[in-house]
Amino acid sequence: MLKITNEIVDAIFAQGKLELPNEACGYLAGKDDAVSKHYEMTNVDQSNEHFTLDPKEQFKVLKETRKEGIDILAIYHTHPETPARPSQEDIKLAFDPNVIYVIASLADDTKSIKGFRIVNGEVTNEEIKIND
């Protein structure tokens, strides 16, 4: 189970709305499945159907998380027009079996956010608990 604060969930949705019509993306970091920090990153694809994290930003975040003693727990992105579930493109491009893939849907006003493990093309749900 991944634990995320309301504040971070709100920030993901705010970033998603700001970057419309494209997908927004970033990292979630923390310890013991509890997210303490989020890192907004650039979607270098500038697409509403897929994303690629900026490699320079990835390197910077990895250095910062190591320095702070926290781990990358999840990669998040938004779906501007579709539900919070992995697309075929998301599944194909999920290369890290050690993280949770978090998807936030902007398709309606209900703030739908879900987590998934994607390993060798197999998708399993990961529970997300949102705390105050």
Model pLDDT for residues 3-47, shown as the tens digit of each residue: 999 999 999 999 999 999 999 999 999 999 999 999 999 999 999
d(CA 114, CA 88): 16
**What is the predicted pLDDT for the residue at 74?**
98
> What is the rounded average pLDDT of the residues 74-99?
93
Q: Do the bridges between strand 25-31 and strand 71-79 make them parallel or antiparallel, or are there none, so unpaired? A: antiparallel
Q: pLDDT at position 119, please?
A: 95
What is the C-alpha to C-alpha distance for residues 106 and 80, in angstroms, rounded to an integer? 5
Residue 50 in this model has a pLDDT that exceeds 80: yes
* Bridge partners, residue 53, by sequence: 43
In this model, does residue 110 exceed pLDDT 80?
A: no
The reported pTM is 0.95
Domains of the chain: 2-131 (3.40.140.10)
Phi/psi at 124 (nearest 5 deg)?
-125, 145
Q: Which two tokens stand for residue 48?
A: 């509403």
